[in-house]
Amino acid sequence: MMPRISHVQGPVLWNVQDGVLTVELNRVREMNILDVPTRKRILQILRRHEKDEAVKCAVITAHGDVFSTGADLNFLLRLRGSRAKSYAKFVREFLDYVENYPKPTIGVVSGLAVGGGLELLMALDMVIATPEARFGQTELKVGLIPGGGGTQRLPRLVGMRKAKEMAFTAGLISAQEAYEWGLVNRVVPEESVLFETKKLCEKLSPMSQSNLRLVKDLMNKGSSMGLADALRMESEFYSKILDSPKTKAAIKAFLKRKKG
């Protein structure tokens, strides 16, 4: 669990420090559910810092022993007809925005992440977990199906067979299993998670922010394309980068530092 954020109080806390925007879910009693107001607040915070060049990295974490159990089931019970369709569209657009956020995003998990909570993590670029973290695509257990990418992003991350096992059984996997399956990038002790997160963000900070955004965009778009088309797209943008005076200046600076 990351240290408490005191910049703003409420169901979603946030602050910016040393180039890192940290967003913290803060509804411990409700198991950090991702109801509509919570998702809208996350969007509001992210959009506020979208073009802030001082922010190099965005971290999403949670207070308490639960990262998030996903949707508000009591709210879902009240959805009918067009309202159900509208809600499903909102969830998809929320996660699409998070996935394509123009800055690197990192999830930090020290507790339970299931259902929509896991789907939020899957929309992030990287995930750091503590050994106590647990993950599950648990919708079938409560009579639902995954509605925020669980049937699509999960197979792309862990492979079809492991994704089907997670979704079909609605069971939990450990942080170590999540690491071995490719669902998280690293597992670190609770007392080291803040240091490791900061260190990762520091590694990203010196990179060209425009090039980093381009690499992220190419990876995201290419994942839903055939390999040949994706490679052509990459080559097209690569040629444009090669032709850029800014690129030439960066290469010259690198070579000068290397000689020094």
Strands 112-114 and 66-68 turn out to be parallel
Measured CA to CA, the distance from residue 149 to residue 161 in angstroms comes to: 16
DSSP 111: S
Catalytic residue among 139, 165, 202, 236: 139
The single residue of 24, 93, 119, 191 carrying the catalytic annotation is 119
For the chain, strand residue ranges (E) read 12-17, 20-25, 57-62, 66-68, 105-109, 112-114, 126-129, 134-136, 173-174, 186-187
In this structure, what DSSP letter does residue 192 have?
G
For the question of residue 119 being annotated catalytic, the response is yes
Alpha helices of 58-174 — where are they, by DSSP H? 73-77, 81-99, 116-122, 153-158, 160-169
Does 53 participate in catalysis according to the annotation?
Answer: no
Rounded distance between C-alpha atoms, residue 258 and residue 247, angstroms: 16
Strand partners of residue 17:
20
The set of catalytic residues is 119, 139
